[in-house]
Structure 1
Amino acid sequence: MTIQFLLFSFLVFLFNNGASSYVPSQDLTSNSLAEAPSFHTRYHPNSDEQDVFNVDDYGAKADGTDDREAFKGAWEAACNSTADTTVLLVPRNKTYLLRPLVFNGPCEAKSVTVKIKGNLKAPSDRSDWSNYWIKFRYVKHLTVKGGGKLDGSGQIWWQHSCKINRTLPCTDAPTALMFYQCKHLRVSNLTSKDSQQIHVVFSHCSHVEALHLTIRAPLWSPNTDGIHLTSTRNMKISDCFIGTGDDCISIVNGSKHVHVNNIVCGPGHGISIGSLGANNSRAHVSNVHVEKATLIGTTNGVRIKTWQGGHGYAKNIHFQDIFMCNVSNPIIINQNYCDSKIPCYQQNSAVAVREVTFKNIRGTSATDISVNFNCSSTVPCKHIELEDISLVSSDTFTSSSSCINVNSTESGSVFPSCNTKRN
């Protein structure tokens, strides 16, 4: 435990001091770079042309009373300004209490920057909540940044979760920060802590950058995913430090052309594609590249999870240059996923999983099965490639693989191998 803590602290130090590569890795190939989505910064303006709207000028007190109306007023002024570029400013060294709040677009201003330099805190009273805390929707050319902190006051929600108290009914809790139908969006240099449920959601967005984000919640906090993508395309996630009670990053139906780079993950459930295909639904995820990640003490490493009975596909997915430290299930594809109180029954249809590459993945496994492919008997996993894999035991057991209903190929040195029968 001491060694893991020291390693964890060292990686945090490197991350916070701008290390560009803290994962043992090979150089990225030109092909992988060519496939990464491109992002344009034309909507990030020159500061000389900005009109600044300070929330304090609209009545924000930062005294523990609700400042939502002041934030709404500042947003409406910034959004509806005729200036090319506007800034909504949240001053530093202050904490503003906010009830659930929506920032609506479209805006008259060609671009809007929200500079959160201070702290935002959610109320602990659950009586006045929607399915979100802070939501941006229908905004183009939006930047949200500033070095501040969003505190979701999630403890009051966690104790009412059915995963904590199994006598309670299962209900959804709010998402802390949601972006809906936003285009040309950049979210950077923020801290999100103790979200009510998911920390940051990008839904039906396009041309997005999320970078230099720190996302924290306790290991036991339920459903506190770090970054969640649904129906979002052309997205780049980079240089983020995420430790929560659920997936560090989850990518679900409708998402494509996603590039994840330089992520520290732990604690949490790892980096996941899915779950997909719940309730016999159709799902499509494609062109996802996850590179240069470090996972520490997570319950899963890199994972694809689909329910039986679903339709569609998860394809053209690449996991490369990843370091695992004491990770359970470092490499896992599960087409028989079931997160339900009622046992899932056998079905013939499944979300197809194909064209998946695991390359240069190294480190230690906390369980004896380091490579686990549990694929469908009727829709097997196809074109699964393993290259340069080294996952050894972090204890006294022997690292092994379990490869069921999978068509896989191997190159370089692969341990544990799907070609070797488990003892």
Structure 2
Amino acid sequence: MASIMTKLVCSALIVLFLLSRSNASSVNTSVEFSIDNYGARGDGKHDDTEALAKAWTAACSSSRPAVLLVPKGKTYLLKSITLSGPCKSNLVFMVKGTLAAPRSLSDWSEENRRHWIVLHGINGLTVTGGGTINGNGELWWKNSCKTNKARPCKQAPTALTFHLCSNLTVENLKIVNSQQINMSVEDCSDVQLARLSITAPGTSPNTDGIHITRSKDVQVRDCVIRTGDDCMSIEDGTHNLHVTKVVCGPGHGISIGSLGDDNSRAEVSGIYIDTLYGTTNGARIKTYQGGSGYAKDIVFQNIIMDNVQNPIIIDQNYCDSAKPCKNQESAVEISNVVFKNIRGTTMSKDAIKLDCSNSDSCTDIVLENIDLKMEGGNGETQSTCQNAKWRKSGNVTPQPCEFKN
């Protein structure tokens, strides 16, 4: 009898184990929501905005991990749209086809001119799929005041915005011809950006590749960024950013700033830029006079520059105005900045520019193993400094300038 009872108990335990495995498997299996099943045509002509919104609502409401699919081989026309969380489970936005913005400016109202696709308030989001996000920005560039001085300056959309997202992964996507900024990461944490191809003509105005502000713990790696403005722009509130293996150019290099505009306070720290290839502008930190706060603990290293305009530049007197900016006493403090293992060619004789404030000078600036030469060997490079407190390590060409008051 004891032997029979033991066998029955063992059999029951096995059944319970198999049932638990079956339940766990069903819980962990993703459920797919295709935009086509919610009325999308995918012909690039009809408006598929409402279909995407419906598919998003269904996927975001799923109690099981969900995949929102944009099928391959189709083009989906989208007007301005915000896809919001929180979602009930982790969600994968699988973009295999193309999301395309309207070509006509009449499809944009004054209220939605700043954004095209916004993903807001989501935890555990992955955006991937190998597809394309096409901003169709040509008409916006032609009507920009930076292209046509006779036109008034108006806002243009950022193609892809992530706002208040955490545990975010964006990888294996193409972003092309954005109306203005290609991708913006705002108020986010724990972010992974990888294997992105971001392209726009070198003449397209304000088409920053990746813009990061008020975000922490961000990693960017293995990306190719070729645009008409900064490959990456790093703004106030960015902390603990690591950038590795990025091809940059055409474009304005990687810029920290502008910081401290309109006498504002800015705080940036823990910025680590490692391995850039082919950058057509340089490593830059720029701040307005009159600001406050800090930009500190910053490393630019292992960078190859090709015929750049401004290879290494710190500018605490930055002014982006048609009129001269007035002199002010305060500035965003810049400290503990390392430029290391940087080589290549420059169009400008001033290969190193350290233009610091009279009141809050740049401190603990390190120049280590720098080799910057004139493109085509046309003369010698030089450095210019104002109120910069620096030291060098290893060979540095051009020779750093003397500290001046």
Q: Does TM, scored on the shorter chain, surpass 0.5?
A: yes
Q: Deviation of residue 190 (structure 1)?
A: 0.5
**CA offset digits 1:48-107 (Å, max 9, x no partner):** 711000100111101210001111111111000111x10000110111111111111001
Match of 1:405 in 2: 387
What amino acid is aligned across from residue 199 of structure 2 in structure 1? R
Letter in 1 for 2:324: P
Assess, with a 3 A threshold, how the Cα gap between structure 1 residues 382 and 67 changes in structure 2: closer, same or farther: same
Deviations 1:92-127 (A, max 9, x none): 011111111111100112x00000000111001223
Instruction: Name the structure 2 match of 1:203.
Output: 186
Aligned to 1:60: 40
Shift of 1:295: 3.1
1:182 aligns with 2:182: no
CA contact (8 A) 2:386 2:403 kept: no
SS at match of 1:263: strand
Letter in 1 for 2:35: V
Q: Identify which range, 369-378 or 179-188, moves more after superposition.
A: 369-378
Alignment of 1:224-239 (within 5 A): 224-239=207-222
Following superposition, the deviation at residue 47 of structure 1 comes to 11
Aligned positions, number: 374
> 1:420, CA displacement in angstroms?
6.1
* Matches for 1:41-80 after TM superposition, within 5 Å: 49-63=29-43, 64-80=45-61
In structure 1, the partner of 2:97 is: 118
Provide the rounded CA distance (Å) in 2 between the counterparts of 1:404 and 1:419.
Answer: 9
* C-alpha distance in structure 2 between counterparts of 1:179 and 1:320, whole Å: 28
Q: Is 1:363 aligned with 2:344?
A: yes
Distance 1:283 1:324, change over 3 A: same
What SS is found at the alignment partner of 1:343?
coil
| Counterpart residue type for residue 398 of structure 2 | P
Contact 1:295 1:327 in 2 (8 A): no
Percent of residue pairs bearing the same amino acid type: 48
Structure 1 residue 342: Cα displacement: 2.0
**1:279 pairs with 2:262:** yes
Residues 127 and 169, structure 2, Cα contact 8 Å, conserved in 1: yes
The Cα of 1:159 is off from its aligned counterpart by 1.1
Distance in 2 separating the partners of 1:184 and 1:161: 35
CA distance in 2: counterparts of 1:375 and 1:210, whole angstroms: 33
Q: Does 1:100 align with 2:116?
A: no
Q: 2:396 is matched with which residue? A: 414
The structural deviation recorded for 1:278 is: 0.6
Aligned residue runs from structure 1 range 235-274, under 5 A: 235-274=218-257
Helix, strand or coil for the counterpart of 1:140?
coil
8 Å CA contact retained: 2:387, 2:403: no
**SS of equivalent residue, structure 1 residue 335:** strand
Q: Superposition pairs for residues 18-29 of structure 1, below 5 Å?
A: none
1:173-231 CA-partner distances (Å, limit 9, x unpaired): 00000000000000000011110100000000000001100011111111000000010
Structure-2 separation of matches of 1:166 and 1:119:
33
> Secondary structure in 1 aligned to 2:46?
coil
- Confirm whether residue 144 of structure 1 aligns to residue 127 of structure 2: yes
CA contact (8 A) 2:384 2:401 kept: no
Contact 1:243 1:268 in 2 (8 A): yes
**How far 1:128 sits from its partner (Å)?**
3.4
Deviation at 1:331, TM superposition (A): 0.5
Larger Rg: 2
**Is the Cα–Cα contact under 8 Å of residues 385 and 403 in structure 2 kept in the other structure?**
no
Equivalent pair of 1:101/1:134 in contact (CA under 8 Å): yes
Query: Cα distance 1:174–1:373, how it changes in 2: closer, same or farther (>3 A)?
Result: same
**Counterpart Cα distance in 2 of 1:363 and 1:262:** 17
**2:151 maps to what in 1?**
168
Is the 1:54–1:89 contact (alpha carbons within 8 Å) kept by the matching residues of 2? Answer: yes
Q: CA RMSD in A?
A: 1.6
CA positional deviation for 1:167: 1.1
Q: TM-score, normalised by structure 2?
A: 0.90
Distance in 2 separating the partners of 1:119 and 1:280: 42
Q: Output the CA distance in 1 between the equivalents of 2:309 and 2:137.
A: 26
Whether the 8 Å contact between 1:295 and 1:301 is mirrored in structure 2 is no
Deviations 1:11-70 (A, max 9, x none): xxxxxxxxxxxxxxxxxxxxxxxxxxxxxxxxxx99971100010011110121000111
Look up the SS of the partner of 2:160 in the other structure. strand
| Uncovered stretches (5+) of structure 1, i.e. residues with no partner | 1-44
> Aligned partner of 1:282: which letter?
R
Which residue type is aligned with residue 334 of structure 2? V
